[in-house]
Structure 1
């Protein structure tokens, strides 16, 4: 038996608790993708189960200008035992994570 086996088992068990990242989210029969606006997501998916203002993030646009944008996280679900976390930066969908609920 390898002496590294306990560490490997620990890493594998921790990995199963992490969220899965995706580039799309299916709500009802509609699909939203990264870069969608908050208005588009709300019109396709309805109101989230919960939402929170996470803070602000400084970004540099394609012209080199710095600006500060708001960061929000919306939660949908549970749907079939899954929670879906949508992160918006400056009213644009930037990250989609899914995680099995408790």
Structure 2
């Protein structure tokens, strides 16, 4: 009975560490992680290579729809051959994706 429990514990640890690894990015001498503000990322990494902003939805009277968020997409392309795509919701980093060029 101990053996399956050990295997499940090990598997859960590996999955947790994998998801944590995917939610960080190295910038200069710092680490950027989900939950940080746009200003924190700018301070650590400088200006992104490109960025786009999707404004929150507004109704026909010009008011922001309740629950709508501003979404920003930033791209960093450092010299290492990996492109990082960051997504912010209302100035908070919620997703970091990376891909090889």
TM-score (norm 2): 0.65
Separation in structure 1 between the aligned mates of residue 37 and residue 96 of structure 2, nearest angstrom: 13
Equivalent positions of 1:9-88 (< 5 A) are 22-56=22-56, 67-88=67-88
Instruction: Show structure 2 runs of 5+ residues with no match.
Output: 1-20, 58-65
Separation in structure 2 between the aligned mates of residue 32 and residue 51 of structure 1, nearest angstrom: 17
TM-score (norm 1): 0.65
Larger strand proportion of the pair: 1
Q: Secondary structure at the match of 1:69?
A: coil
Instruction: Report whether the alignment pairs 1:94 with 2:94.
Output: yes
Instruction: Show structure 1 runs of 5+ residues with no match.
Output: 1-20, 58-65
Larger Rg: 2
- Shift in Å, 1:95: 0.2
> Please, what is the CA RMSD of the aligned residues?
1.8
Larger helix proportion of the pair: 2
For these two proteins, the number of residue pairs brought into alignment is 73
Q: Secondary structure at the match of 2:69?
A: strand
Q: Which structure is richer in relative contact order (CA contacts within 8 A, separation 6 or more)?
A: 1
